Chains A and B, each alone.
Chain A
Amino acid sequence: MADVREAAAAPLDLLDERLRRGEGLKAALAGIWGRVRSGDLGALPIVLGLVVIWTVFQSLNSVFLSSANLVNLLMESASVGIIALGVVCVLLVGQIDLSVGSVSGLSAALTAVTFVKHGWPMPLAMAAALAAGAAIGFVYAQMVTRLGVPSFVATLAGLLSFLGIQLWLLGDTGAINIPFDSGLVHFAQLAFLPEWLSYVLVVVAAGWLFATGYGLARTRRAAGLSARSTTLLVARSVTVLLGLGFAVWYLNRARGVGWLFVSFVVLVLILNYALTRTGWGRSVFAVGGNAEAARRAGINVRRVYTSVFVLCSTFAALGGMIAAARLAAANQSTGAGDVNLNAIAAAVIGGTSLFGGRGSAFAALLGILVIQSISNGLTLLDLDSSFRFIITGLVLALAVMLDSVARRSRVAHGRAA
């Protein structure tokens, strides 16, 4: 009799007797620990990595963790972070775009030329550069889906060609200054949230996290499914509230939180929503996991590839503009050098699998924080770019090795590769 009542009370999705049941904080923590042990590491390695990097640099130079430097670090991370968002999308479908750097450089040059030399209004100049980025992505997608060119080769060709066009656009001088009083430069360099607004945003974020979590839990319970306990949801929101609150308070001791960085985070949240809550996002993961199965499920695989390449190049174009605005100039080295690899490395370090089908928008955010921390720390130590290249390269190798090892562990534990 007792079992019957227990079975009736158990949620619909926890009826199988092989399932270990448990609710509340303790069970949640145990679940996380089990996932980590089976190689489903999530964001854990990268958070640990950040802690290590920050500790090392702080012990070498006490300026590193100062408010002023962290404000700077966040502002600097936005442009490559935005480019990395696009790279995440392309990696999710198991493709790659090696030309994001030169597309961003081209977009910077295009914005500067049309705005400064031809006197277009800023929004028009930006829209034109974004459209050019989208067009480039569209061409890549056609080459990959219709002609069967590997994306590796198509975008490698693009890398060179667009670098050439960038240099040609910039002309003999090789650089175009963007006036300081233009809206874009102001936004990228000088626009910070008022202190009160930054705290309001933190409260809104924590409240929103709780509200959505609670709403979902209520719907699930009403439908007879298991749901997160309210304690857990409260604990999560309070953690976020305190964590973000502290970060914002610390940043506010210097210039505060830049609108640029907030915009980057908003883009991350939007992309995360699109990838996890829309049919498009579902099909992106499906194509990355098994393109043939996705096709047989009636998904238009070609359209998914096209959307992803277009998105990637458009994000690259946006990132390029931001980079130019940070410098108040578009020059020959905008988007050159390590931008390309940093964007790809950020996506991978953040936990996007190179094999397709695994990753998230937050990978770009976490990954770029790691890369920018290294770059910033080494600059503070007065080490030149040679060291920066070496160390970023090593971190990338470490991240990819971790990805491979975790993947093997997941396979051994029967989780998705």
Chain B
Amino acid sequence: MTAPAAAASQAPTRPILSLRGVSKNFGAVAALTEVDLDVAAGEVVAIVGDNGAGKSTLVKVLSGVHRADTGTVTFADREVTVASPADAHALGIATVFQDLALCENLNVIQNLFLGREVRRGRLDEVTMEIRSWELLRQLSAKIPTVRVPVASLSGGQRQTVAIARSLLGDPKVIILDEPTAALGVAQTAEVLNLIERLRDRGLGVIMISHNMEDVRAVADRVAVLRLGRNNGVFDADAPTEEIVAAMIGASDNAVSRRANQRRQSRQRRQRKEEE
């Protein structure tokens, strides 16, 4: 392994959530092998990695969708088993899934409050509607009305709904699996702001993203997964090339080759212009 462990840094305080030796197999595919991860309260940890590196699988283990084959999860200094999504909610782990996991036939309010409806005897629709508007406004959501089925929303609007849903119920750790993939410029900025606000409020945030700019903008540490294994933890100000190299596995890779080519052709163009 050529893991550049030099750049690895420790979590600033005691981790609120920490994983040790987590493995998960799907039949013959080892999706996760002996993965470790720490997240402290008030810290944003980004997980990056190539397609199929096991990021979403890790998220699903943490949120109780899949059970890990081996390994331990420690939450607030207690070893816990996250056997079901309900367990994760009870602990205070909220998740925005990559595939969003919304019910298309239900409207925005119903999706936001699914599984934790506000009740006063019967369902209290009015309170839920007001809370929905507050949440969506906080995210600068451009959703004209909350009483339409989610099926009629655009991809980015759905993503906003999924993010808004994770904020309900006072979570302690929020996991966002590619939260900005479908978002517009303003909404992406809003989500990044939100992540910073969550950090300032003392929540632990795990963010997964393919967008290195977003990662650098908000993450305190960047953990790299490669083929289901840890491949180094970096400070957010580590050079991008180094992180990319850890993601892809070598310094001579498609990304660096492409960057070189572009640099060279730009230089060639400049030379031509000078002539």
Q: Whole-angstrom distance from the CB of A406 to the nearest CB of chain B?
A: 14
Q: Known: A16-B145, A300-B86, A416-B152. Is A357-B105 also a contact (CB below 8 A)?
A: yes
Report chain A residues within 8 Å CB of B127. Answer: 223
- The answer to whether B103 touches A278 (Cβ under 8 A) is no
Contact of B106 among A273, A279, A289, A292 (CB under 8 A): A289
Indicate if the CB atoms of B151 and A414 lie closer than 8 Å.
Answer: yes
Of the stretches B19-27, B115-123, B185-193, the one at the interface is: B115-123
Decide if A414 touches B104 in the complex (CB within 8 Å).
no
Which residues from B are CB-within-8-Å of A149?
none
Point out the residues of chain B lying under 8 angstroms from A43, CB to CB. Answer: none
The answer to whether A288 has its CB under 8 Å from any CB of chain B is yes
With an 8 A cutoff between CB atoms, is A402 at the interface? no
Is A51 in the interface zone, CB < 8 Å from B? no
With A285-B103, A414-B152, A415-B152 given, is the CB distance from A298 to B123 under 8 Å? Answer: no
State whether the Cβ of A294 lies closer than 8 Å to any Cβ in chain B.
Answer: yes
Say which size band chain B's interface belongs to.
Answer: 35 or more
Residue in A19, A282, A413 whose CB lies within 8 Å of B123: A282
Residues of B within 8 A of A292 (CB): 101
Cross-chain contact A298 with B152 (CB below 8 angstroms): no
Query: Do A416 and B104 touch across chains, with their CB atoms under 8 A apart?
Result: yes
Q: How far in angstroms is the closest Cβ of chain A from B108?
A: 10
Residues of A within 8 A of B102 (CB): 290, 293
Judge whether A298 and B116 touch: CB under 8 Å.
yes
Q: A296-B63, A299-B114, A416-B149 are in contact. Are A19 and B103 (CB under 8 A)?
A: no
Interface centre among A18, A282, A283, A296 (most CB of B within 10 A): A296
Known contacts A279-B123, A292-B101, A416-B149; is A297 also within 8 Å of B114 by CB? yes
Q: Which residue of A lies closest to B102 (CB)?
A: A293
Contacts of A278 in B (CB 8 A): 122-123
Is the CB of B146 closer than 8 A to any CB of chain A? yes
A289-B103 in contact (CB<8A): yes
Contacts of B110 in A (CB 8 A): 282, 285-286
List residues of B (120-164) whose CB comes within 8 Å of A's CBs: 122-123, 126-127, 129-130, 133, 142-152
Are B126 and A417 neighbours in the complex by a CB distance under 8 Å?
no
Instruction: Please count how many residues in chain A sit with their CB below 8 Å of the partner chain's CB atoms.
Output: 40
A12–B110 Cα gap in the complex (Å)?
18
A405 sits at the interface (CB 8 A): no
Which residues of B sit under 8 angstroms from A216, Cβ to Cβ? 126
- Answer whether A297 and B145 are a contact pair too, CB < 8 Å, given A13-B133, A223-B126, A223-B130: no
Which residues of A sit under 8 angstroms from B145, Cβ to Cβ?
13-14, 16, 19
Q: Are A282 and B117 interface neighbours, CB within 8 A? A: yes
Of A13, A224, A289, the residue contacting B147 (CB under 8 A) is A13
Q: Which of A46-100 contact B (CB under 8 A)?
A: none
Known: A277-B122, A279-B117, A279-B119. Is A289-B104 also a contact (CB below 8 A)?
A: yes
**Assuming the A-B contacts A223-B126, A277-B123, are A282 and B114 also in contact, with contact meaning beta carbons closer than 8 angstroms in the complex?**
yes
Q: Is the CB of A290 within 8 A of B103?
A: yes
| Complex contact B101–A19 (CB within 8 A) | no
CA distance A414 to B97 in the complex (A): 23
Does A225 have its Cβ within 8 Å of any Cβ on chain B? yes
CB within 8 Å of B: which A379-417 residues: 411, 413-417
Report if A236 contacts B (CB, 8 A): no
Contacts known (A225-B129, A286-B103, A289-B106); A297 close to B115, Cβ less than 8 A = yes
Is A253 engaged at the interface, CB distance under 8 Å to the other chain?
A: no
User: Contact between B103 and A12 (Cβ–Cβ < 8 Å)?
Assistant: no
| B85 at the binding interface (Cβ < 8 Å) | yes
B218 within 8 A of A: no
Closest CB in chain B relative to A281 CB, distance in Å: 8
B residues in contact with A413, CB < 8 Å: 152
> Are A299 and B115 in contact, CB atoms less than 8 angstroms apart?
yes
A285–B126 alpha-carbon span in the complex (Å): 20
A177: CB under 8 A from chain B?
no
In A291-332, the 8 Å CB interface with B consists of 292-300
Contact among A289, A298, A300 with B89 in the assembled complex (CB-CB below 8 Å): A298
Compute how far the CA of A286 lies from the CA of B117 in the bound complex, rounded to whole angstroms: 13
Q: Which residues of chain A are within 8 angstroms of B116 by Cβ–Cβ distance?
A: 298
Q: Is B65 an interface residue (CB 8 A)?
A: yes
Picked from B65, B103, B115, B126, the residue with its CB within 8 Å of the CB of A220 is B126
Closest B residue to A222 by beta carbon equals B126
Nearest CB in chain A to that of B142: its residue? A16
B104 touches A290 (CB 8 A): yes
Residues of B within 8 A of A297 (CB): 85, 101, 114-115
Tell me, in angstroms, the Cα distance from A295 to B86 when the chains sit together.
8
A224 to B134, CA, bound (A): 12
| Complex interface: chain A residues within 8 A of B119 (CB) | 279
A224 to B131, CA, bound (A): 12
Partner among B89, B105, B114 whose Cβ is within 8 Å of the Cβ of A416: B105
Are B126 and A293 interface neighbours, CB within 8 A? no
Q: Knowing A18-B144, A279-B119, A292-B101 are in contact, say whether A286-B114 is a contact too (CB < 8 A).
A: yes
- Can you give 13 contacting A-B residue pairs, CB < 8 Å? A16-B143, A219-B126, A223-B130, A225-B126, A279-B123, A282-B123, A285-B105, A289-B103, A290-B102, A293-B114, A295-B85, A298-B85, A411-B151
Going nearest first, the 3 A-B pairs with the smallest beta carbon separation are A416-B149, A289-B105, A297-B115
- Which residues of A does B touch, CB under 8 Å? 12-14, 16, 18-19, 216, 219-220, 223-225, 273, 277-279, 282-283, 285-286, 288-290, 292-300, 357-358, 411, 413-417
